[in-house]
């Protein structure tokens, strides 16, 4: 029996987590669950976005399933106490250095994409984002001086070891796909990025069956829109990966559809890539599919159950094929369903 820690978080986190639970309940006796607090919910209960209790639960779990964090209620807090810091802290504490964000087009939703369908043919790639280094965690960081003459600073820093381990993750993944890896950097300007490129090339020596290319991040931002079908695995540092993965998500038509896995050598966390959407929280209109597909990634990666993950993905495809849509992805002629109904439809399909 696998031990799963559920961290619904804030905003729509709860409603979409309910749907993931409903879907996982289709496979009884495989998991035991515990619930915990992170982000704003944890600030309200414990006064901190990542309490000790949550850390302890997470360290003991086989996998963590997370909804989303953040909301206007906590926006005025100093940056080190904001809900988002809870997310960064759990990534760091569990050593989740590899963030995997698959970008796949769901055929029934192709018209939702701002790109012409002809550009989207054969689009299927994975963003492998380094998640515990770079500007997000580099020191020194802070603010100097008095108001009126302050300067603020962050540090982009990567060690060879950090680059090596994420490069291995990227190459291993590419090996099981189309054997193409595009590494993103800004080595023409930044020392940390020149080291990134050098080490990626070094690691490539062990993966000669994978075709390696390099791209500056500004060009990558353009190519993801111009020729998305050219990509297979995109390997990227933390900061650039944050930006490029949101851009890539637009190709799919709705941010609500996309799952992710954050992996370390001992721990794993799964979460949809969207935020907590406080403006629609509690309205029952959020799209639970990104959350449900994150649960599928968990089954595949942390529970060794690719067959169950496949069942979930097939059920999602069938329900979309049948025309059921939450509000974010609804269009004329489709059947509008609530968050809860979408979860139920997918679960029913699995059990069929």
Give yes or no for residue 242 binding ligand IPM (CB under 6 A).
yes
Residue-level length of the chain: 352
- CB nearer Mg ion, residue 251 or residue 346: 251
CB of 46 to ligand IPM, least distance (A): 19
Angle at 7 between CA 134 and CA 240, to 5 degrees: 20
CB of 96 to ligand IPM, least distance (A): 11
Q: Residue 129: what are its φ and ψ, rounded to 5°?
A: -105, 125
Looking at residue 176, the DSSP 8-state letter turns out to be: T
If we measure between CA atoms, which residue out of 302, 235, 303 comes closest to residue 266? Answer: 302
- CB nearer ligand IPM, residue 88 or residue 115: 88
- CB nearer ligand IPM, residue 132 or residue 183: 132
Residue entry with tokens 């990134």: 196
Stretch that binds ligand IPM, among 83-91, 189-197, 289-297, 314-322 (CB under 6 A): 83-91
Give yes or no for residue 247 binding ligand IPM (CB under 6 A).
no
Cβ atoms < 10 Å from Cβ of 97: 21
- Spot the catalytic one: 62, 104, 246, 340: 246
- CB nearer ligand IPM, residue 91 or residue 349: 91
- CB nearer Mg ion, residue 89 or residue 318: 89
Stretch that binds ligand IPM, among 2-10, 80-88, 186-194, 247-255 (CB under 6 A): 80-88
The residues with which 34 forms a beta bridge, in sequence order, are 5
- Radius of gyration for the chain, computed over Cα atoms and rounded to the nearest angstrom: 20
- Spot the catalytic one: 44, 122, 218, 279: 218
Reported as type and span, the H/E element at residue 9 is strand 2-9
Catalytic annotation on 218? Answer: yes
If we measure between CA atoms, which residue out of 256, 258, 262 comes closest to residue 238? Answer: 262
Reported as type and span, the H/E element at residue 233 is strand 233-236
Catalytic annotation on 209? Answer: no
User: Interface mask (CB under 5 A) for Mg ion, residues 211-250, using x and -?
Assistant: -------------------------------x--------
Subset of 259-318 contacting ligand IPM (CB under 6 A): none
Catalytic annotation on 136? Answer: yes
Catalytic annotation on 186? Answer: yes
Give yes or no for residue 100 binding ligand IPM (CB under 6 A).
no
Q: Residue 189: what are its φ and ψ, rounded to 5°?
A: -125, -35
CB of 84 to ligand IPM, least distance (A): 4
If we measure between CA atoms, which residue out of 84, 116, 121 comes closest to residue 105? Answer: 121
Do 115 and 106 contact (CB within 8 A), yes or no? no
Give yes or no for residue 43 binding ligand IPM (CB under 6 A).
no
Cβ atoms < 10 Å from Cβ of 72: 10
Catalytic annotation on 242? Answer: yes
- Point out the residues that are catalytic: 136, 186, 218, 242, 246
Footprint on this chain of ligand IPM (rule: CB under 6 A): 84, 87-88, 242
């Amino acid at each position: 029996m696998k031990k799963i820690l559920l961290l619904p978080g804030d905003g729509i986190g709860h409603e979409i987590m309910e749907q993931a639970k409903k879907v996982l309940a289709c496979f009884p006796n495989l998991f035991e669950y515990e619930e915990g607090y992170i982000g704003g919910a944890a600030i309200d209960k414990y006064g901190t976005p990542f309490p000790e209790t949550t850390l302890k639960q997470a360290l003991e779990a086989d996998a963590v399933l997370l909804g989303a964090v953040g909301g206007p209620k906590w926006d005025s807090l100093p940056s080190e106490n904001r809900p988002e810091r809870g997310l960064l802290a759990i990534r760091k504490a569990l050593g989740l250095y590899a963030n995997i964000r698959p970008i796949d087009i769901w055929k029934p939703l192709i018209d939702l994409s701002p790109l012409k369908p002809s550009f989207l043919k054969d689009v299927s790639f994975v963003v492998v984002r380094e998640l515990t280094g770079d500007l997000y965690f580099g020191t020194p960081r802070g603010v100097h001086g008095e108001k009126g003459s302050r300067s603020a600073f962050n540090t982009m820093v990567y060690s060879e070891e950090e680059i090596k381990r994420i490069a291995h993750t990227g190459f291993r993944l590419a090996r099981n796909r189309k054997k193409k890896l595009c590494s993103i950097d800004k080595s023409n300007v930044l020392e940390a990025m020149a080291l990134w490129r050098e080490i990626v090339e070094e690691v490539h020596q062990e993966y000669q069956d994978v075709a390696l290319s390099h791209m500056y991040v500004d060009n990558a931002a353009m190519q993801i829109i111009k020729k998305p079908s050219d990509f297979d695995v995109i390997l990227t540092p933390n900061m650039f990966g944050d930006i490029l993965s949101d851009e890539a998500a637009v190709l799919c038509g709705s941010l609500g559809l996309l799952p992710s896995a954050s992996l370390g050598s001992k721990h794993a966390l799964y979460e949809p890539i969207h935020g907590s959407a406080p403006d629609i929280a509690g309205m029952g209109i959020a799209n639970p599919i990104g959350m449900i597909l994150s649960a599928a990634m968990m089954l595949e990666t942390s529970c060794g159950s690719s067959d169950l993950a496949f069942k979930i993905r097939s059920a999602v495809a069938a329900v979309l094929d049948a025309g059921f849509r939450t509000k974010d992805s609804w269009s004329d002629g489709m059947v509008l369903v609530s968050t809860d109904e979408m979860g139920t439809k997918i679960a029913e399909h699995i059990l069929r």
